[in-house]
Amino acid sequence: MRSDYKFAKKMGDEAVRAAVKNGMSPYLPVLDTFEEVKHSLGEVRLGLMELPISRIKGNKEMGRNNAFANNFMPIFPETSEFATKWARLYDSYMEEGIRDAIECYEYMNQYYVLEGNKRVSVSKYGGGEYILANVIRILPAKNDTKEVKVYYEYLDFYAVTKNYYIVLNEPGGYAKLAELLGQNLTDPWDEQLCADMKVAYFKFGKLARTILDLSSDFTLGDAFLVYISIFPMKTLFEESDEQIIKNIRLAKKELLADRGVDSIAFLEEAPEAAKQKSSLFIPNLFSSKKEYTETSPLRVGFIFDAGVDESRWIESHELGRMYADEMTGASAVTKRYISANRNGNIEDALAEAIADKNEIIFTVSPKMMPDTLKAAVLNPSVKFLNCSVGQAHSAVRCYHGKLYEAAFLMGILCADTMLLDRNTSGERKIGYIARAGASRRVLNLNACARGVSLIDPDCRIELRYLGEGDHTDWRSEWADKGIPIYADFDYSTLPGIENKPGVYRIDGDKDIHLGTPYFSWGRYYVQIVQSVMSGAWDIGSLVSSNTAANYWFGLSTGVVNIVTPVLPYQTQKMLSFFKNSIVRGGYDPFTGELHMQGEIVSEERSTQRNKISASLEKLKDGQIVAMDWLNDNIDGTMPLGEEII
């Protein structure tokens, strides 16, 4: 009917005015005008698909593009032939739907119409959700951008599931989805599982959109992944709609949390100190903090998945727990809980800690995050923290130490010691052990390598990666090669590592200790416990409600530090200089031009040649956390995709 065209045109005209007002194009995007498409890697015919109309974003070609506003509503005059055809098509749509499939192209998970844009327009106006389409996929050129990385992960997911409805936005998301369902991204999935996943996704979407402000399939996919990581997918079939809605409400903040490392607020000091410094902090004069006493103490639980004597990592956290227990006095009581399981499965220990009425629960390994997240959503009155960095969860705060700052100082010490030992002839090398099960190992390795190159640009790092159960006699091999110094300070969660972490000089059958970078977790735990006791836990004035908070303390807080035996005066002076520079914020190990194996990561730009710049750019915290490359003075490789968070 003409009246329908009139209303649709009104919607189109309003969209045009809004776009012009905001300085945007009032028309649909045209795929052929995208510069990156001109460098694509080819096309793949996908055949007939039932597309979500919400993912149809524009036209493939420029022709007739001015007939529609950027919301696909018509804008030609009501007296035009176009208007007549549109109205007739809409009448047909209302009687029998769209009979013929449209032709469109898919690029980066969005669709662009080649033929059938009026069919899309009337379907959108009529409230349709899906439309049949013959689809051709355009493959983007591969590069290191997050969007392209995620898209190629999606292609792996599509290859084994043929599911094009679930769209995720963060690297590793599809692998996590596969893991949650007991699958991988290389072998085809069972047809029934694929069908169940599709039904579960649609059901979640239908119920979630009644509660959450999910603007698109792109946000719905991320919310679905978070939901099934807390409530198993089978609950979407087994539980009533009322219970599922209750679950969604319970996990609402987590489902709406900003995702990705770039969205995380990295806090580099204790909450109370941060609040006092922030100009945005306005104290609540009417708030009352809970008083803790010897008879009514703050209970703090620590969850371990191994015995204290079984790993470097657990031992370091147990020392921290004992320190916090001593320093916080009788008004706070700590207790450790050791899970009977391994590999991060800590449901039993968490249940016991919650039953003991602990108000703060620390889980000390990134592998424990899935169980920690479930417990946090189901027990919102308990404060949960997980020892990891780079994870974006609003229900769980992450904490970690910048050991890479101390590793940088160890690199300086290694290179300086080698030069003082008169090892200046021939090729100079320092050994480095990277251990499986170690958190942020690539940061520590690169920082150490940067420290070495700062003192001795010609010195190389010989990397040896030790996987679980690897008993290679690397020490003898290095001694035979004439490599006099090695670093072995990865705090691995794996059991059976007897060597104490540190930097050592090989001296015959003995290893002489030169220094150690270490975590002082006790300082962390004291600061966080005291923030709760003082009423400073709430950081709403510093971080928005949908933003994940990661505590990432470094040398400036004493959470990480170095210990060395007596050193030559000049060496001690040099280490003190760089340590103080880092503490005061004047220097960072990842400042200035950075070179990875084979190419430049960050190039220093100077407008004045032969001038020494007083201000050098530093990598952002998110870039450091997401580091997946090795410095150019490192010989060897290790698994970068398996980096523990």
pLDDT, tens digit, 9 for 90 and up, residues 111-120:
999 999 999 9
- What is the C-alpha to C-alpha distance for residues 134 and 617, in angstroms, rounded to an integer? 49
pLDDT band with cut points at 50, 70 and 90 for residue 607: very low
Q: Is the pLDDT of residue 391 over 70?
A: yes
Q: What is the mean pLDDT of residues 74-98?
A: 91
Residues 540 and 561 in one domain: no
In a domain, 406, yes or no: no
Could you tell me which residues come within 8 angstroms of residue 56 by beta carbon, excluding any fewer than 6 positions away? 72, 104, 110, 111, 112, 113, 120, 131
pLDDT at 108: 94
| Final residue in a domain of this structure, among 235, 256, 277 | 256
Q: Is the pLDDT of residue 542 over 70?
A: no
| Final residue in a domain of this structure, among 553, 576, 608 | 553
Phi, psi of 218 (to 5 degrees): -70, -35
More confident residue, 310 or 197: 197
- Give the total number of structural domains in the chain: 3
Residues 283 and 375 in one domain: yes
In a domain, 407, yes or no: no
Residues 239 and 272 in one domain: no
Residues 209 and 287 in one domain: no
Tokens found for residue 351? 């249940």
- What is the C-alpha to C-alpha distance for residues 534 and 331, in angstroms, rounded to an integer? 12
Phi, psi of 130 (to 5 degrees): -135, 155
Tokens found for residue 1? 């009917």
pLDDT at 534: 84
Residues 456 and 563 in one domain: yes
The top-scoring range by mean pLDDT among 230-239, 385-394, 502-511, 535-544 is 230-239
- CATH number at 237 reads 3.90.1530.10
Tokens found for residue 388? 């990891």
Q: Is 547 exposed, middle or buried (0-12, 13-18, 19+ CB in 10 A)?
A: middle
SS3 130: strand
Tokens found for residue 186? 């290389």
Q: What is the mean pLDDT of residues 120-146?
A: 92
Whole-number average pLDDT of the chain: 86
Q: What is the mean pLDDT of residues 598-612?
A: 52
- With a pLDDT cut of 90, the percent of the chain lying above it is 57
More confident residue, 392 or 283: 392
pTM exceeds 0.75 for this model: yes
Residues 507 and 527 in one domain: no
Residues 514 and 536 in one domain: no
Residues 533 and 496 in one domain: no
pLDDT at 278: 42
In a domain, 112, yes or no: yes
- pLDDT one-digit tens code per residue, 267-325: 887 665 544 444 433 344 334 567 888 889 999 999 998 888 888 888 899 999 999 99
In a domain, 640, yes or no: no
pLDDT at 394: 84
Residues 191 and 228 in one domain: yes
Residues 269 and 364 in one domain: yes
Of 200-204, 279-283, 402-406, the least confident: 279-283
| Final residue in a domain of this structure, among 553, 574, 599 | 553
In a domain, 644, yes or no: no
In a domain, 408, yes or no: no
- CATH number at 567 reads 3.40.50.2300
Asked if residues 389 and 440 have their Cβ atoms less than 8 Å apart, the reply is yes
pLDDT at 535: 81
pLDDT band with cut points at 50, 70 and 90 for residue 598: low
Residues 549 and 564 in one domain: no
Q: What is the mean pLDDT of residues 170-174?
A: 90
Q: Is the pLDDT of residue 611 over 70?
A: no
The top-scoring range by mean pLDDT among 253-262, 268-277, 376-385 is 376-385
pLDDT at 47: 93
* Residue burial 160-183, b: 16+ Cβ < 10 Å; e: rest: bbebbbbbbbbbebbbbbbeebeb
DSSP state letters, 452-465: HHHH-TT-EEEEEE
- What is the C-alpha to C-alpha distance for residues 501 and 433, in angstroms, rounded to an integer? 10
Determine the distance from the C-alpha atom of residue 557 to the mean position of all C-alpha atoms in its chain, rounded to a whole number: 24
- What is the C-alpha to C-alpha distance for residues 437 and 115, in angstroms, rounded to an integer? 53
Residues 119 and 200 in one domain: yes
463 is in which domain, residue-wise?
A: 416-519+557-635
In a domain, 328, yes or no: yes
Q: Is the pLDDT of residue 46 over 90?
A: yes
Q: Which of 367, 628, 312, 309 is nearest to 490 (CA)?
A: 312
- pLDDT one-digit tens code per residue, 2-31: 789 999 999 999 999 999 999 999 999 999
Q: What is the mean pLDDT of residues 386-398?
A: 89
In a domain, 543, yes or no: yes
pLDDT at 317: 93
pLDDT at 500: 83
Of 213-222, 384-393, 413-422, the least confident: 213-222
Of 105-109, 327-331, 360-364, 380-384, the least confident: 327-331
Q: Is the pLDDT of residue 498 over 90?
A: no
Q: Is the pLDDT of residue 201 over 80?
A: yes
| β pairing state of 634-635 and 485-488 | unpaired
pLDDT band with cut points at 50, 70 and 90 for residue 602: low
The top-scoring range by mean pLDDT among 428-432, 497-501, 535-539, 564-568 is 428-432
- What is the C-alpha to C-alpha distance for residues 84 and 91, in angstroms, rounded to an integer? 11
Q: Is the pLDDT of residue 606 over 70?
A: no
Tokens found for residue 403? 């050991």
Tell me the torsion sign for CA atoms 26, 32, 37, 42: positive
Q: Is the pLDDT of residue 509 over 80?
A: yes
